[in-house]
Amino acid sequence: EPEVTQTPSHQVTQMGQEVILRCVPISNHLYFYWYRQILGQKVEFLVSFYNNEISEKSEIFDDQFSVERPDGSNFTLKIRSTKLEDSAMYFCASSELEGWLTEAFFGQGTRLTVV
């Protein structure tokens, strides 16, 4: 069964450092997303990406964040200068283009720890 894969599974970084989280969406999907879940809190939407551009973003997704699809398979989330409060599980997801009523498939997540 096709799945969304994320690397690494756990990333520890020093405050102020840049970090790049990587995702390989399901191959025939055309919408890509990043969500995050701070420990003990709900899953929150960050950004959606379609046709090589951001289609929607939340207020969490400020100038510190960027997304890119550098090649035909990878989808990345970059945090330019990490803060302690960026520590969270980051989930990548993808969905098919056709039909609004389609579910998003999630990866297993990357646990980001900022120290």
Residue with tokens 């990345």: 76
> Burial, 8: exposed, middle or buried (Cβ in 10 Å; 0-12, 13-18, 19+)?
exposed
DSSP state of 100: S
As measured in angstroms, the least distance from the Cβ of 110 to another protein is 10
With respect to another protein, which residue has the nearer C-beta, 20 or 54?
Answer: 54
Choose one: 12-20, 55-63, 68-76, 79-87; the region binding another protein (CB under 8 A): 55-63
Choose one: 11-19, 62-70, 75-83, 96-104; the region binding another protein (CB under 8 A): 96-104
Rounded distance, CA 83 to CA 53, Å? 25
CA 48 → CA 15, 68, 82, 99, 104, distances in Å?
26, 11, 21, 16, 11
Which residues within the stretch 58-87 sit at the binding site for another protein (CB under 8 A)?
Answer: 58
Choose one: 14-22, 36-44, 67-75, 78-86; the region binding another protein (CB under 8 A): 36-44
Residues near another protein, by CB under 8 A: 4, 6, 31, 33, 35, 41-45, 48, 55-56, 58, 91, 93, 95, 100-101, 103-109
